[in-house]
Amino acid sequence: MQTLHQALLLKKLYLLQSFGFDYCNPQFLVPTQKRFQSQNQGDLRQLIESCKLCAQKTSSPSAGLCHQNSKLVFLSLMPLLDAQLRFASKSAQMLKNIVERVFDMRLQEVSILSLLKCEIPQNSQQICIESCMGYFLKQIEFTQSPILVLLGAEAYFYLTQDGSDYRNVQGKLLKWNHLKLFPTFSLNQLLRQPKLKINAHKEFLHLKELLKEEKQCN
């Protein structure tokens, strides 16, 4: 999906160039993951917790739960856990119940991460995600989990840059780079519309079955 999106964008750029448009080589900021060479999770957490890259943040940074050899990584747009890694919100408590009661896993067997490490106003999220992306990619290296459960359309779109209809990908196991993605409902959506919990439960059970099949194949 990402490759197709890039190919269509490149085709559009070539078309514009044929009409006389000129382009310059943009200078991107060096991603954080290239500068962060340590293989120590404690160092990475300290770096995230002391981060001051985004002046727009309205909360302290939260690194989330990052466990090595995680069976699943649950990824949201903004942090679900507070700076002390407590399950203080209703969304966090809901995810805790999903992990333990639906997937029958201990919290130590999963990772709970976010693309943004702080609460960020909506109009600043795109640029702040670019600042946080290096932290997230390094965390994924540490977790060594092949499957990311994407909690909501925003997390999916910001990660993949895929502009297709979210309904076409939700509840399906997709390949993205060297990872597998499972887009599903956001927790806030389930809190606002409790009737959707039935559909969400079906999607989680489907993923649980896929995990069993994959384990049997291995």
Model confidence over 96-112: pLDDT tens digits?
A: 999 999 999 999 999 99
Measured over all CA atoms, what is the biggest interatomic distance in the chain, rounded to whole angstroms?
Answer: 60
Identify the pLDDT of residue 181.
Answer: 96
How sure is the predictor about 8, in pLDDT bands with cuts at 50, 70 and 90? low
Q: Distance (Å, rounded) from C-alpha 184 to C-alpha 155?
A: 10
What's the burial of 185, exposed, middle or buried (CB within 10 Å: 0-12/13-18/19+)? buried
Query: Between these two residues, 180 and 16, which has the higher pLDDT value?
Result: 180
Identify the pLDDT of residue 14.
Answer: 52
Mean pLDDT of the residues in the chain: 84
- Which H/E stretch holds residue 112? strand 110-114
How sure is the predictor about 150, in pLDDT bands with cuts at 50, 70 and 90? very high
Q: Let me know how many helices (H) and strands (E) the chain has, helices first.
A: 8, 5
Q: Distance (Å, rounded) from C-alpha 98 to C-alpha 143?
A: 19
147 contacts 179 by C-beta, under 8 angstroms: yes
DSSP 183: E
Point out the least confidently predicted range of 13-22, 179-188, 205-214: 13-22
Residue % of the chain over a pLDDT of 70: 82
The model's pTM: 0.81
Identify the pLDDT of residue 1.
Answer: 47
Give the tokens for residue 80: 């679900």
Identify the pLDDT of residue 33.
Answer: 42
Query: What superfamily does domain 42-217 belong to in CATH?
Result: Uracil-DNA glycosylase-like domain (3.40.470.10)
Query: Between these two residues, 40 and 185, which has the higher pLDDT value?
Result: 185
Rounded mean pLDDT, 67-82: 95
Residue ranges covered by each domain of the chain: 42-217
| pLDDT surpassing 60 at residue 169 | yes
Kindly report, residue by residue over 14-70, the tens digit of the pLDDT. 554 554 544 444 332 334 444 556 677 888 889 898 888 888 788 889 999 999 999
